[in-house]
Structure 1
Amino acid sequence: MALHGHGTRSRQVLGPARPGGAPRQVEVRVRRYRCQACGATCTVAPWEVWTRRLYSLAAIAWALALWAVVGLGLAAVRGRVSPWVHVGATSARRWRTPRAWVEAVAERRLLVRVRPWPRGWAARRAAAHVASTVAGHAPPSAPSPPLAVQAFWGAVHAA
């Protein structure tokens, strides 16, 4: 199967560059390739970019850990992960995205190395399971605990 370059495009990714860093929005270049035999395309992106996700994998793991392990409210977590300071009036106090991430993990569409948890667990408890599992994938060179920091650095290896 022969692939050839089909072009590049930009993609916006949200999240801090390091645990506790300022939230940012960065533009990353992704490369598309087309199979010359069947015409299918594939996209190649940096590790922190996940299909159909606006936030980096590290930012997702960090947010889940801050919410479920550290115990911050979702508005406080959003302030540490999202660079967007303007949100709609109905979502100013409630951020649904972390619950959607937990659901995506449960459905094996995100952080696929995380083992399933028992049915009926509340989203926050499941998020703690996700964060602690991802933290276990942090490389030995990652900064030492707390668990939220380990989750940030372990995200790439838990994908």
Structure 2
Amino acid sequence: IHQWLSESTMPEGISSDDSAKLKRQSKAYFAFDDELWLHAKPYPTKIILELKERIELLAFAHNSSLHRGIFPTTKTLAQRVFWPSLAADVRKWIEACPECQKYARTGNQALSIPQVPNSLFTQIYLDALRMPPGAGFIYLVLARDALTGWVEGKPFKHLTSES
């Protein structure tokens, strides 16, 4: 696309179908000062092809935004430049940044406070277990007090609401 827009010549060995496709795709771009730009709103966006330039821009945008994270850095870059893997590159850059990982907000959430019952046997947990065959009993129902942890169990032949 850059060659077509800057020199008005097609790359060598390109078929007529590919040539027509390239001409259609190139309408979204323009060349200026030997650089490729994308027609974007509200301002044109520069296409970054060189890896070295991408790394410099990533470092500058990330450090100048005071390590604010993936979305602010991506937004800052996307308003000015474009390359196909911009969002993925920003994510990798920030995941590799030791300062961002040190001060990341994830995992720094307030701990939940457990609720403790006021007195014995006011909160009880029940559980029913299927036992191995033997002695005619099939089920074991366990009750545990939430405050003390005291457990009592009773075997049953049938598991119904009445039992």
TM-score (norm 2): 0.24
Q: Work out which of the two has the higher radius of gyration on C-alpha atoms and give 1 or 2.
A: 2
